[in-house]
Amino acid sequence: EAGVTQFPSHSVIEKGQTVTLRCDPISGHDNLYWYRRVMGKEIKFLLHFVKESKQDESGMPNNRFLAERTGGTYSTLKVQPAELEDSGVYFCASSRDRGYEQYFGPGTRLTVT
């Protein structure tokens, strides 16, 4: 069984540019989560999809972040326009049941200069 995959593994962009991160969950996992770790801080929850629906987006920092999961398969997280404080590692996770056994991808390291 393939694990959670994320693309790209690393992205370096300038402040004001747009970046789109992609996550492919484990096949059959309806629950998909985005988390983020900024330098020196905890890994923080961003949002949770159940299939194509946003179940909880309470962790999204502001309206520069837009997440989608069209068709309930892969998900994208767009940051537009990017700011310096958006730098960090963005993790995606998926699970069969809500909250239970979340499997994480390798993360996308975003650097905004």
Partner 1 sequence: GEDVEQSLFLSVREGDSSVINCTYTDSSSTYLYWYKQEPGAGLQLLTYIFSNMDMKQDQRLTVLLNKKDKHLSLRIADTQTGDSAIYFCAEVDQGNLIFGKGTKLSVKP
Binding residues for partner 1, rule: CB under 8 A, are 4, 6, 31, 33, 35, 40-45, 48, 55-56, 59, 91, 93, 98-107
Nearer to partner 1, 81 or 106 (CB): 106
Residues 74-105 as b/e (b if ≥16 CB within 10 A, e otherwise) read: bbebebeebeeebbbbbbbbbbeeeeeebeeb
| Dist. CA 88–CA 107, nearest whole Å | 10
The least distance separating partner 1 from the CB of residue 43, rounded to whole angstroms, comes to 4
Nearer to partner 1, 81 or 89 (CB): 89
The least distance separating partner 1 from the CB of residue 110, rounded to whole angstroms, comes to 15
Closest-CA residue to 21 (of 42, 44, 39, 5): 5
The least distance separating partner 1 from the CB of residue 16, rounded to whole angstroms, comes to 29
